[in-house]
Amino acid sequence: MFLDKLDKYNVVDIMSTNIVKVHYKSSRREAIKKMLDQGVEDTVVYGDEEKIMAVLTFKDIIKSIELENDLEKSVNIIGTQDVVDIGADEKAIEARNIMRKKRIGRLPVKKENEIVGIVRINDILNKVYSKIDKMYETLESVLNNIHEGVCVIDKDGMVLLWSKQATKLYGVKSEEIVGNKLEDFFPTALLLTALEEKQPIENVYHSPRKGSYVIISAVPIFVDDELVGAVSTDRDITETANLSVELQSTKEKLSFLQLEVNKINEGQHSFHKVIGKSEIIKKRIDKAKKVALTNSSVLIGGESGTGKEVFARAIHQASGRKGPFVAINCSAIPESLFESEMFGYEGGAFTGALSKGKIGKLELADKGTLFLDEIGDMPLYMQAKLLRVIQDRQVVRVGGEDPIDIDIRIISATHRDLKKMVAEGTCREDLFYRLNVVNIQLPSLKHRKEDIPIFIRAFMNEFCKENNLSLPKIDAEVFHILMDYDWPGNIRELKNTVEHLVVFSKNGEISKSSIPEEMLDRVHDVDSSITVQTYDLKENIKNMEIETIRKAMEAVDGNKNQAAKLLNIPRSTLYHKIKFCNLVEYL
């Protein structure tokens, strides 16, 4: 029987070491973040000398949140419990008896007065099942009274047990599936993968149907080193996911924070992820690193596809600001929706508004960074409202009256000439100076061609890894063509082109035939144009002059006064040549 087998194990054999521990003075926000990071639904609250004060679930903490600032309150406020624990060297059967007697689903484990693990119901079910053919009645009684949906199959994939919770989750009755092949009902079930690969699969997120969410774990079962079947547990987290309906603002903020914390933890937006070794890009990185440590507004300029958002995210991560990075594409929001997206709205503020209202992007960015991409496309009336927010550090939702204090750092980006827009009256001058405290102009790819091979290698590695492809070789002629191309779409175009090259590579090699035809035509046209102009002395002198001005501007990081001295010409002459040669990156 199940209990006989359980008696042969100690607690240390069945406990989980994937635990979250928080001090009783820790905030609820910190507890939630730790649980999200480690993918568990509970946390052990301890006091002095690691005294266990409570075992709280994600659901317990969410229920205790009534106001937004409740996130900063101590987990201790939720209330201590009469918590029992067990020693790591105790018998596993004792842990099971305690949990049954106390009617608890989690039991902390201590060793030498230190919390070393936790026993959960599913730990017992996943790790100690054996001789399934002798325990059907006992298991059905246990499984039908836990929250997890459980399925047990034999080595041939035949369903032996199907719990009531599994029926609730998937809409398939026990009498329909037991005795039949699991594959006939769920061809892509993770349980079949665990059985075939003889490896456990843990904590996989899945939505079996609309509005329903589960976490699945599947474990193969061995008896005397022989594979006899497999068991899966499906935890229903739908209630947790939908728990804060009445706390809509907090729910949206937590979801947003979870995504952003994951991104930051993966380190995918730090400066060391910015690709390039050219002098011009290294200078831009150094400038961005310096301004990141301040709260100054930053305006990032450059053509489309030059990596403006990559720089903005890197600045945010290096800033140390505690809030999230919230990005808004000003060119993608209809003018009629701009104000509600930025400021949020109260319930019933206008026809079609959610009854509970909605939090705006400005509020979401509190304590963090607001990234305004394509700021040049923001309507004039919104520019005035944004200026007021920057000055007052407050927002008022649409349909609301009470101002809400916010602490945000603004980073803007555009490919347009904002100075020209100010002169034309399509951009407010006062807002321009507020946003343009520090200006970072990102060079186009054609001005940093030495970085092209680095980008190609990086994009190839990324694409091949994501698609489980072997890394192809690149013919030297292909490199020559890619270096000669002027890349009007910049880094974004290069990335798409690399994917095209890999897809159309042959026999593990990228050749000229892999290159898109329109690119070959463009390179050919450029080469023909250069051939015709090769002996045009006036044109060659102009090109040399342009290249010299660019090198001088790069050497002094865009300072026109210093560049004029370096070139030994009056500053007015330099301004004239920059305008005449259409060097828009230095206007």
Task: State the total domains in the chain.
Answer: 5
Q: What six digits make up the tokens of 283?
A: 């200078």
255, 196: one domain: no
7, 34: one domain: yes
322, 334: one domain: yes
449: domain CATH number? 1.10.8.60
28, 146: one domain: no
Give the E-state strand segments of 121-211 in sequence order.
Answer: 149-154, 159-162, 201-209
67, 79: one domain: yes
Give the E-state strand segments of 13-131 in sequence order.
Answer: 21-23, 42-46, 52-57, 86-87, 106-111, 114-120
283, 416: one domain: yes
In whole angstroms, how far apart are CA 523 and each of 303, 305, 449, 491, 515? 20, 20, 15, 17, 11
List b or e across 310-326, with b for residues whose CB sees 16 or more CB atoms inside 10 angstroms. Answer: bbbbbbbbbbebebbbb
514, 546: one domain: no
**Residue 177 domain boundaries:** 129-241
16: domain CATH number? 3.10.580.10
User: At which of 420, 441, 462 does a domain end?
Assistant: 441
568: domain CATH number? 1.10.10.60
342, 425: one domain: yes
Using DSSP bridges, classify how beta strands 344-345 and 52-57 pair: parallel, antiparallel or unpaired.
Answer: unpaired
- Assess contact for 246 and 252: CB atoms under 8 A: no
386: domain CATH number? 3.40.50.300
191, 286: one domain: no
415, 553: one domain: no
User: At which of 126, 142, 166 does a domain end?
Assistant: 126
Q: Which of 524, 528, 507 is nearest to 516 (CA)?
A: 524
134, 251: one domain: no
List b or e across 119-158, with b for residues whose CB sees 16 or more CB atoms inside 10 angstroms. Answer: bbbbbbbbbbbbebeebeeebbebbeebebbbbbbbeebe
Q: What type of residue is 192?
A: L
Q: What is the pLDDT along the chain (587 residues), one digit of tens a residue?
A: 444 556 678 888 888 888 999 998 888 889 889 988 888 888 888 888 778 888 888 888 888 888 778 888 888 867 556 788 999 899 888 888 888 888 888 899 998 888 899 988 776 666 655 444 445 566 667 777 777 888 899 999 999 888 888 888 888 898 899 889 999 998 888 889 899 999 998 888 776 666 667 888 999 999 888 899 999 888 877 766 566 444 566 666 666 666 665 555 445 667 877 888 888 899 999 999 999 999 999 999 999 999 999 999 999 988 888 888 999 998 888 888 888 888 888 876 666 566 667 888 999 999 999 999 999 999 998 899 999 999 999 998 888 888 889 999 999 999 999 999 999 999 999 999 999 999 999 999 988 888 888 899 999 999 999 999 999 998 888 888 888 888 989 999 999 999 999 999 998 899 888 888 888 877 755 444 444 444 566 667 777 888 888 888 877 877 888 888 888 888 888 888 887 776 756 66
Place of tokens 């406990």: 15
The interaxial angle of helices 560-567 and 571-580, nearest 10 deg, is 100
115, 136: one domain: no
